[in-house]
C-alpha cells in the first residue's frame, strides 16, 4: 500500500472512530462493574476506541512518516 | 490560620521559589527575541514533550475534569480521551510536520503567520491573529480561575478566591517575563513531572481513603447511579465535544508554536507516540477522583465542584502532602498559562509588529516591549477571572470551538493548492460569527439538535470553505507552487 493510500485509510478510520465512539446501546442504562468492582463494559468499550486511535498513530509514525521526507507532496 | 493551612502554604511557597529560580537561571542565558519566544528551536523530545503536553494540560484537566466528573461521572475521561488523546497527536503530524518545514524556511511561529505567508495577505494574517488573541483571554482566565478555586479549596477558604487568582497571575507572570520560552520550557519539564506523579498520588490517596477502587465505586453505584450510567450527559454533547476538543488543541497558539521548537521533526514524532498514553493516564485519574468525591461532599452546586480535588486533599491527606499535591495542580495550570502568555507575545510580534516594520527584523527593545504587553494581558485575564464566570468546562467548550474552527483553514493552507484567500476569509468569518452568536441565542438552543454550538461553527466554517473555494478563482499558480516547493525540499 502506498503512503498516500495508507494515510487515507488512517484518516477514514479516524472519522469512523469519532462516530462509533457513541455507544448508544448502553447510553443511560444501569450497568454494574465487571472487573475489580469498578470497571464496566462501557468503560472498556471507550478504552477500546482509545486503543484503536493509538493504533492509527503507530501506523502513521512507523509506516507513513519517513522523517523529513514525509513533508513532501500537496495536491 | 490553622497549623495545617500553614503547612500547606509553606510547601506551596517552596514550590514557587523553585519555579522562580528556574525562570531566573534561564533569564541569564537568554539574549534575543527569538530566544525569548522560541528558545532558538533547540529542544530535544523530552523537553519538547513536557513543553507541548504542559501547554496542553491545564486547569481544565486538574480542576475542570474532577469538577465535571463530580456532576456527570466517569464518562468525563472518555469525553476527552477517546478523541483528543489520539486525534490531536494525529493532527500534530498532519499540521506539525509541514509547519515545521515552514518554520525552518520562513521562521513561521504562529498559525496566523502561516495563513498570511501562504496567501501573502497581511489582512488574513491580522484577522486570524485577532481571533486567536480573542480566544486566548478566556482560555488564560480558566487557569487563573482554577488557581483561585484550588487555593480556596486547599486552605478551607483562608486564601480567598481573588487572592488565589492574584498569586497565580503574579507567579506565572514573573517567571515568564524573566525566562521567556526557554525558562517556561524548563519550568514545564519540572511541572509536567510534578503533575503526572502528583496526579497518580492524588488518585491513590483518595482511593485509599475511601476504602479502595471497588469500595469507592460501589458507593457511587449505590447512591448516585446516574454517575455510572451517563444519563447526565446527552450523547450529542459527548459526540460534539470530542470533535471540538480534538480539533482545537493543535490550533492552540501555545501548543502550535511549541510544536515548532524541536531540534528536528523527529522529535515531534517521538512526542506523538507518548502523548495518548500520558493523556489517558492523567484523565482517568482525575475523572475517577472527582466522581468518588461526590460521595464525600455531596452538596456542591455548579462550579463549586471545581474545588473538589483541593477539598478532598485537605480532608484526606496530611497537610504537607496536601501542599505537595496542591503544587501538582498548580503545575498543570501554570504550565499552560505561561505558554499562553508567550503565544500572545509571538502573535503580537510576528503578526502585528514585524509585518508593518520596514526592516522586518526584531530589535533589542522588542523584548522589553513584549514583556510589558504580556503583563497587560495577564492583568486583563486576572480582572475577567474575578467576575467568576461559569464553570471551567463551560468556558472552554466555547473558547475551544473558536480555535477548532481555525483547523480547516490551516489544513487547507498546508495541503490544498486550489484553495483561495477569499475562501479562507469566508470560512473564518462565518465560523467565528456562528461561534460567537449561537451561544447568544441567534438560533434557539433547542434547534441545535443537542449538539454544542461550537460544533455547528466548525461544520459551518468547513461547508463555507468548500463552497467558496469552488466558486472563487484559484490563487496564483507560480506563487502557490513556490510555497509548496518547501515541502519537497529537505
Q: Chain A residue with minimal CA distance to B267?
A: A67
Nearest to A50 among B81, B93, B101 (CB): B81
Cell numbers placing A56: 492509527
**Per-residue confidence (pLDDT) for residue A70, from 0 to 100:** 42
- The structure's pTM equals 0.85
On whether residue B414 sits in a domain, the answer given is no
**Per-residue confidence (pLDDT) for residue B390, from 0 to 100:** 65
- CB B87 to CB A18 under 8 A? yes
**Per-residue confidence (pLDDT) for residue B335, from 0 to 100:** 74
**Per-residue confidence (pLDDT) for residue B41, from 0 to 100:** 57
- CB B93 to CB A61 under 8 A? yes
On whether residue B432 sits in a domain, the answer given is no
Residues 37-66 of A with CB under 8 A from B: 37-38, 40, 42-43, 46, 49-50, 53-54, 56-58, 60-61, 65
CA distance B269 to A72: 16
How many Cβ pairs closer than 8 A exist between chain A and B? 126
The string of pLDDT tens digits covering residues A19-56 is 999 999 988 888 888 888 888 999 999 999 999 999 99
Cell numbers placing B1: 490560620
Average pLDDT, chain B: 84
Q: What is the DSSP string of B303-365?
A: GGGGGHHHHHHHHHS-HHHHHHHHHHHHHHHHHHHHHHHHHHHHHIIIIIIGGGSTT----HH
Domain that holds residue B68: 3-392
Give residue B410's pLDDT band: very low, low, confident or very high (50, 70, 90): very high
Nearest to A40 among B228, B486, B490 (CB): B228
CA distance B96 to B265: 8
On whether residue B466 sits in a domain, the answer given is no
The string of pLDDT tens digits covering residues B78-102 is 999 999 999 999 998 899 888 888 8
**Per-residue confidence (pLDDT) for residue B72, from 0 to 100:** 93
With 90 as the cut, is the pLDDT of residue B373 above it?
A: no
Is the Cβ–Cβ distance between B74 and B308 less than 8 Å? no
On whether residue B309 sits in a domain, the answer given is yes
On whether residue B449 sits in a domain, the answer given is no
- Give the domain CATH number at B165: 1.20.1730.10
For B415, counting Cβ atoms within 10 Å of its Cβ (0-12 exposed, 13-18 middle, 19+ buried), the class is middle
**Per-residue confidence (pLDDT) for residue B36, from 0 to 100:** 53
> In this predicted complex, what is the ipTM?
0.89
Residue of B74, B76, B80, B86 to mutate when probing chain A, most A C-beta within 10 A: B86
With 70 as the cut, is the pLDDT of residue B226 above it?
A: yes
CA distance A1 to chain B (A): 19
CA distance B202 to B368: 40
Residue range B378-386: average pLDDT?
88
Count how many domains chain B has. 1
Nearest to A53 among B86, B93, B417 (CB): B86
Amino acid at each position: 500500500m502506498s503512503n498516500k493510500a495508507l494515510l487515507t485509510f488512517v484518516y477514514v478510520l479516524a472519522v469512523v472512530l469519532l462516530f462509533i465512539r457513541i455507544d448508544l446501546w448502553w447510553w443511560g442504562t444501569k450497568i454494574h462493574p465487571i472487573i475489580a468492582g469498578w470497571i464496566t463494559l462501557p468503560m472498556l468499550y471507550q478504552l477500546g476506541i482509545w486503543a484503536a486511535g493509538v493504533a492509527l498513530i503507530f501506523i502513521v509514525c512507523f509506516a507513513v512518516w519517513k522523517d523529513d521526507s514525509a513533508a513532501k507532496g500537496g495536491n | 490560620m490553622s497549623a495545617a493551612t500553614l503547612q500547606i502554604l509553606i510547601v506551596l511557597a517552596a514550590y514557587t521559589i523553585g519555579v522562580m529560580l528556574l525562570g531566573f537561571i534561564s533569564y541569564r542565558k537568554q539574549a534575543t527575541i527569538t530566544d525569548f519566544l522560541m528558545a532558538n528551536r533547540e529542544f530535544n523530545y523530552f523537553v519538547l514533550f513536557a513543553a507541548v503536553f504542559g501547554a496542553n494540560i491545564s486547569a481544565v484537566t486538574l480542576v475542570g475534569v474532577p469538577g465535571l466528573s463530580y456532576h456527570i461521572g466517569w464518562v468525563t475521561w472518555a469525553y476527552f480521551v477517546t478523541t483528543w488523546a489520539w486525534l490531536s497527536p494525529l493532527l500534530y503530524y498532519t499540521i506539525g510536520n509541514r509547519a515545521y518545514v515552514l518554520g525552518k524556511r520562513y521562521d513561521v511561529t504562529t498559525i496566523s503567520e502561516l495563513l498570511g505567508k501562504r496567501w501573502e495577505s497581511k489582512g488574513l494574517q491580522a484577522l486570524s491573529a485577532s481571533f486567536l488573541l480573542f480566544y486566548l483571554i478566556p482560555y488564560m482566565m480558566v487557569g487563573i480561575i482554577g488557581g483561585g478555586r484550588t487555593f480556596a479549596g486547599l486552605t478551607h477558604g483562608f486564601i480567598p478566591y481573588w487572592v488565589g487568582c492574584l498569586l497565580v497571575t503574579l507567579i506565572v507572570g514573573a517567571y515568564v517575563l524573566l525566562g521567556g520560552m526557554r525558562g517556561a520550557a524548563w519550568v514545564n519539564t519540572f511541572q509536567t513531572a510534578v503533575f503526572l506523579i502528583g496526579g497518580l498520588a492524588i488518585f491513590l490517596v483518595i482511593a485509599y481513603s475511601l476504602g479502595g477502587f471497588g469500595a469507592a465505586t460501589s458507593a457511587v453505584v449505590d447512591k448516585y447511579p446516574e454517575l455510572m450510567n451517563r444519563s447526565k450527559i446527552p450523547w450529542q454533547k459527548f459526540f460534539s465535544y470530542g470533535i471540538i476538543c480534538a480539533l482545537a488543541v493543535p490550533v492552540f497558539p501555545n501548543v502550535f508554536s511549541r510544536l515548532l521548537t524541536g531540534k528536528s521533526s523527529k522529535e515531534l514524532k517521538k512526542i506523538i507516540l507518548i502523548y495518548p498514553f500520558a493523556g489517558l493516564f492523567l484523565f482517568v485519574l482525575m475523572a475517577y477522583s472527582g466522581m468518588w468525591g461526590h460521595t464525600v461532599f455531596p452538596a456542591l452546586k455548579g462550579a463549586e465542584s471545581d474545588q473538589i480535588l483541593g477539598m478532598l486533599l485537605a480532608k484526606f491527606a496530611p497537610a504537607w502532602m496536601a501542599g505537595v499535591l496542591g503544587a501538582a495542580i498548580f503545575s498543570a495550570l501554570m504550565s499552560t498559562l505561561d505558554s499562553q502568555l508567550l503565544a500572545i507575545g509571538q502573535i503580537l510580534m510576528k503578526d502585528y509588529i514585524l509585518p508593518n516594520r520596514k526592516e522586518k527584523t526584531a530589535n533589542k527593545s522588542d523584548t522589553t516591549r513584549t514583556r510589558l504587553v504580556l503583563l497587560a494581558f495577564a492583568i486583563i485575564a486576572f480582572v475577567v477571572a474575578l467576575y467568576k464566570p461559569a464553570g471551567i468546562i463551560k468556558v472552554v467548550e466555547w473558547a475551544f470551538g473558536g480555535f477548532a474552527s481555525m483547523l480547516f483553514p490551516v489544513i487547507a493552507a498546508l495541503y490544498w493548492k486550489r484553495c483561495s484567500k477569499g475562501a479562507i476569509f469566508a470560512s473564518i468569518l462565518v465560523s467565528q460569527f456562528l461561534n460567537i452568536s449561537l451561544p447568544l441565542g441567534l438560533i434557539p438552543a433547542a434547534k441545535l439538535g443537542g449538539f454544542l454550538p461550537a460544533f455547528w461553527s466548525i461544520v459551518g466554517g468547513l461547508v463555507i470553505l468548500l463552497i467558496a473555494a469552488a466558486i472563487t478563482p484559484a490563487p496564483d499558480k507560480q506563487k502557490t507552487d513556490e510555497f509548496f516547493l518547501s515541502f519537497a525540499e529537505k
